[in-house]
Amino acid sequence: MTQTLVEPKVKVDRKWQLWIDGKFEDGESERELYNPATGKVLTKVSEASTKQVEKAIKAARKAFDKGPWPRLTAQERSHFLFKIADKIEEHKEELAQLETMNGGKPIRESRYDVADAANCFRYYAGLVTKPSGQQVDVPAPSFTTIVREPIGVCGQIIPWNFPLLMAAWKLAPALAAGNTCVLKPSEYTPLTAIRLAEILSELELPNGVVNIVLGAGPSVGQPIAESTLVDKIAFTGSVKTGKLIASSALTNLKKVTLELGGKSPMVVFSDFDLDIAVDYALFAIYCNAGQVCSAGSRMIVEENIYDDFVKKMSARAKKIKVGAGLDENTEMGPLVSESQLKRVMEYIEIGKKEGAKLEVGGDRPTNKELGNGYFVSPTIFSNVKPDMRIAQEEIFGPVVVVEKFKTEEEAIELANDSQYGLAGAVFSNDITRAHRVVKAIRAGITWVNVYHNTYAECPWGGYKQSGWGRELGVAGLEAYTELKQININLDPQPVGWFAE
């Protein structure tokens, strides 16, 4: 298949700066970013010093305590969010290309992500104007209401696998609720976040309402998590880092939302169409090269179709077009970084040593086009035992394990045999059984006869060590609010509790 490269609409050889208190400024240091498809330097970006992080936090604090944003009506904030969505759509191809060049994913996936980001802003623009309070029927002459108010300054730390979309998931509900924000994108993929800052600056968002600081976790993320001027921290990433952030947040008992890892099961019963199941299995694990927190990285397949499933999935996996993301024909791109490439290859070696059978993949493409990029071939392990590391630990790459079950009870047990509980799916034509099994799976996001469907209207988050709280949906907006009860005496009279 010949290359069909997209027409470039974005320039990366330019200044990429911090955005603090409504102004762009250089950081104290610079970081080189690499094109995952080539392994070559893509561009350089500024990185914030600790003082600049503190400056951003203080700007957000001032904007919340004294600025206009929290005091705008819901309708006025909604208007801003609609304009943000319109601007994202106006620059959709530029943002998609930037996402692909920085993160490596196929351009078709980046286009979906950009559209989803715009949709997220539109959803919260609409939701925030809907009734959210409550009037309580209490004895007269009291009048009691329950209202939701913005939390305050929100520190938001996002990952590298969906840079623009994760920024939208964090910023849209926070801004809709009337908060101010300090956003830290991943040090690997900050470009679309900076471009979003430029879009926000064009819309004349009040100074300090959104601040974007670049850099690594210890130098930028940790000061945000520890700051007593920050009222809430929202993080998406690894369990290890999530625990550190939760610990740091104890400085002032700030509110915490954590969306962490997954090792999600896809349970396939023998009554389901095998070819359709294989098709969904490929989508579940190889979308974004497996760098998805909810990826279907554990196939749990009924024993009487197990061999055929592995054979068909392996044959299909070999045909996946692996290549640079800007090639329109590419179906799976590279991993995000050299360090992630090393991690995935280490797990493949672990799987071999543990005794699992490598059915396909497990290597890096060596041809001239891909040899210098961070590519890993689609990989499948069969004959996997539940206690193997490759079955228990999140690999975050295009590596899937296929386990076998005999009974429904065993399928449920295998599905729940994990420290994680983010997502899971069941494939069966017996809808009663499918519903029974999916109800038994201990996960926050579940599907029946489908995979990866994600809606801004529905809560996103997991059980167990997959995190705290929920993003998206009504729950995602409520996570950026405080509950307050207001009691009003409509007929003040002496209380008479104590004698005169």
Strands 210-212 and 420-421: unpaired
User: Of residues 226, 259, 302, 471, which has the active-site annotation?
Assistant: 259
- Tokens of residue 84, six digits: 């943000």
Structural element, H or E, at residue 427? strand 423-427
Long-range CB pairs of 458-465 (<8 Å, 24+ gap) are: 460/169, 460/259, 461/257, 461/259, 461/422, 462/259, 462/260, 462/262, 462/420, 462/421, 462/422, 462/423, 463/421, 463/422, 464/418, 464/419, 464/420, 464/421, 465/239, 465/260, 465/261, 465/419, 465/420, 465/421
Half-sphere exposure of 221 (CA within 13 A, CB side): 22
Q: Which residue has the tokens 């956003």?
A: 183
Q: What separation, in Å, do the N-terminal and C-terminal C-alpha atoms of the chain show? A: 95
Instruction: Measure the CA angle with vertex 484, ends 480 and 490; round to 5°.
Output: 150
Three-state DSSP class for residue 66: coil
Residues in the chain: 500
- For the four alpha carbons of 434, 439, 440 and 443, in that order, the dihedral sign comes to positive
* Residue of 47, 293, 394, 403 marked catalytic: 293
Question: Are 482 and 150 a contacting pair, CB within 8 Å?
Answer: yes
Beta bridge partners of 210: 181
Q: List the structure tokens of 106.
A: 């196929």
Q: What is the signed CA dihedral for 222, 224, 229, 235, rounded to 10 degrees? A: -110
CA-nearest of 218, 3, 180, 202 to 90 is: 202
Q: Tell me the C-alpha distance between 157 and 264, whole Å.
A: 23
Pairwise CA distance, residues 421 & 400, whole Å? 17
Is-contact 81 172, C-beta < 8 A? yes
* DSSP-based helix, strand, coil % in the chain, nearest 5: 40, 20, 40
Catalytic residue flag (residue 259): yes
Task: Tell me the CB-side half-sphere exposure of residue 248, using CA atoms within 13 A.
Answer: 23
Residue 120: active-site member: no
Measured in degrees and rounded to the nearest 5, phi and psi for residue 462 equal: -135, 170
**Which distant-in-sequence residues (6+ apart) come within 8 Å of 71 by Cβ?**
178
The catalytic site residues sit at 259, 293
